[in-house]
């Protein structure tokens, strides 16, 4: 297992589209293990492969609160096959947009089809926080960050602050 550095915006990798996984093999299972370790360490409740520089359609999530009862969900090639008409607003954050939080409106519930770590087809109905997080993670696979759901004024303000923070850290 390995802890991997998380890319932060603005980084062109985070704007790129990820490729479908052709086969769920030991290489993918090792990637999932590294992603979960990196997510728990951050700490975060979700992580998408492009955030660690891997442009493949792989995401991990764990919305459990307590460290004792970990309940990780790994998804390979996830697809939204249904979304509710009803929306939900959630204050989102992102490990790739550190220290910025904003309300984002998304469908309140979704049905997601994906492959699990053994390559088996699965489908889940997600609502509440999990619906928000799975949509946030799937956006990463298409090069979309939560700030892309905000007005360009808000987005550019956040991007400018991230660039300045990076320069100040040099
Ligand atoms: O840790 C995270 N918290 C979070 C809170 C509200 C909505 C989405 C998220 S996902 C985020 C981790 C992350 O950046 N995943 O890509
Ligand atoms: Ni994110």
Ligand in nearest proximity to the CA of 59: 1
Task: Tell me if residue 137 is catalytic.
Answer: yes
Does any domain span residue 3?
Answer: no
d(CA 4, CA 141): 18
pTM, rounded to two decimals: 0.97
Find the CATH number of the domain harbouring 43: 3.90.45.10
Q: Is residue 4 part of a domain?
A: no
Domain extent for 113: 12-169
**Contact yes or no for 33/60 (Cβ under 8 A):** no
Q: pLDDT digit string (tens) for 99-149?
A: 999 999 999 999 999 999 999 999 999 999 999 999 999 999 999 999 999
Q: 140 C-alpha to center of ligand 1: Å?
A: 11
Residue 124 in domain: yes
pLDDT band at 68, cuts 50/70/90? confident
What integer is the mean pLDDT of 76-101? 98
The structural domain count of the chain equals 1
82: CB partners within 8 A, 6+ apart: 110, 111
């Amino acid at each position: 297992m390995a802890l991997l550095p998380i890319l932060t915006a603005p980084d062109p990798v985070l704007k790129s589209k990820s490729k479908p996984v052709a086969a769920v093999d030991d290489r993918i299972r090792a990637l999932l293990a590294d992603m979960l370790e990196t997510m728990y360490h951050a700490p975060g409740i979700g992580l998408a492969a492009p955030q660690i520089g891997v442009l493949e359609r792989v995401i991990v999530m764990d919305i459990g609160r307590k460290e004792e009862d970990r309940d990780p969900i790994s998804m390979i090639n996830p697809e939204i096959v249904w979304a509710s008409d009803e929306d939900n607003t959630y204050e989102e954050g992102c490990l790739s947009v550190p220290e910025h939080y904003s309300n984002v409106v998304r469908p309140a519930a979704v049905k997601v089809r994906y492959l699990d770590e053994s390559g088996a087809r699965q489908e889940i109905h997600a609502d509440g926080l999990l619906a928000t997080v799975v949509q946030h993670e799937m956006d990463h696979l298409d090069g979309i960050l939560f700030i892309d759901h905000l007005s360009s004024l808000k987005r550019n303000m956040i991007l400018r602050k991230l660039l300045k923070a990076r320069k100040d850290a040099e």
